């Protein structure tokens, strides 16, 4: 079976909830209309369609639009060697959806990262806590409303003994320049 045929079976199982397959550059994507049903759709995709591997779970911040986030699930079936992308939207007011950790154990870290970087919550997750930033960090750094230069903050005894080096931080590069060395932040701020 092809990914398109598998996506069609998914849409037939969930009429009105799962969109018809869309193809772009050989990749197949379906949209799940209600984020509350994502775990149910994923369970069917694994158990009945053979998508036994969650390659990735990521999120897109559609800042200024409603719904604000799109959560993207990249699935793969080892036996049939097909890829399938599921997308679902989550509003800013809710910013929560069910976990898929019960479907794929690997979702644990992916969902923690989406929580840590975007502030999305996964209801039923067994250990939803920060994975990259320290506990008590008040922001979500991959949101589009997070300033590129970072935010100055003073969180004593959490991660640093002096104010956390966020402003002009290690991820801020300068556009242009003659080469990548000039754009490298540590060249501009050798003390970092």
Q: Where are the domains of the chain?
A: 3-142, 147-192
- Per residue in 85-138, pLDDT (tens digit) is 999 999 999 889 999 999 999 999 999 999 999 999 999 999 999 999 888 888
CB half-sphere exposure, 176, CA atoms < 13 A: 0
Residues 6+ apart with CB under 8 A from 103: 39, 42, 43, 46, 54
| Cis status of the peptide bond prior to 67, with omega within 30 of 0 | yes
| 10-35: average pLDDT | 96
Q: What pTM was computed for the model?
A: 0.79
Residue 191 has pLDDT above 90, yes or no: no
**How far from 183 is each of 46, 149, 152, 166, 180, CA to CA, in Å?**
44, 14, 22, 18, 5
How many angstroms separate the CA atoms of 79 and 60, rounded?
30
The residue with tokens 């644990």 is 108
CATH number of 3-142: 3.30.460.80
Residue 187 has pLDDT above 80, yes or no: no
- Alpha helices of 14-82 — where are they, by DSSP H? 38-47
| 67-82: average pLDDT | 97
Residue 192 has pLDDT above 60, yes or no: no
Q: 95-125 burial, b if ≥16 CB within 10 A, otherwise e?
A: bebbbbbebbeebbebbbbbbbbbbbbbeeb
Tokens of 94: 């809710």
Strands 69-77 and 53-61: antiparallel
């Amino acid at each position: 079976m092809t990914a398109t045929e598998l996506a069609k079976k998914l849409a037939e199982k969930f009429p009105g909830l799962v969109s018809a397959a869309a193809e772009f550059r050989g990749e197949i994507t379906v949209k799940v209309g209600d984020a509350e049903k994502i775990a149910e759709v994923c369970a069917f995709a694994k158990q009945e369609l053979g998508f036994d591997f969650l390659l990735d779970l990521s999120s897109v911040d559609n800042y200024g639009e409603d719904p604000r986030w799109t959560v993207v699930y990249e699935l793969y079936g080892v036996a049939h060697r097909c890829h399938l992308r599921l997308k679902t939207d989550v509003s800013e007011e809710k910013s929560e959806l069910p976990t898929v950790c019960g479907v794929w154990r690997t979702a644990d870290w992916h969902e923690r990262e989406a929580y840590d970087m975007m502030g999305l919550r996964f209801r039923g997750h067994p250990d939803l806590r920060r994975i990259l930033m320290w506990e008590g960090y008040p922001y979500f750094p991959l949101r589009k409303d997070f300033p590129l230069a970072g935010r100055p903050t003073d969180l004593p005894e959490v991660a640093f003994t002096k104010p956390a080096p966020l402003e002009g931080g290690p991820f801020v590069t300068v556009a242009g320049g003659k080469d990548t060395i000039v754009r490298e932040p540590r060249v501009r701020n050798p003390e970092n």
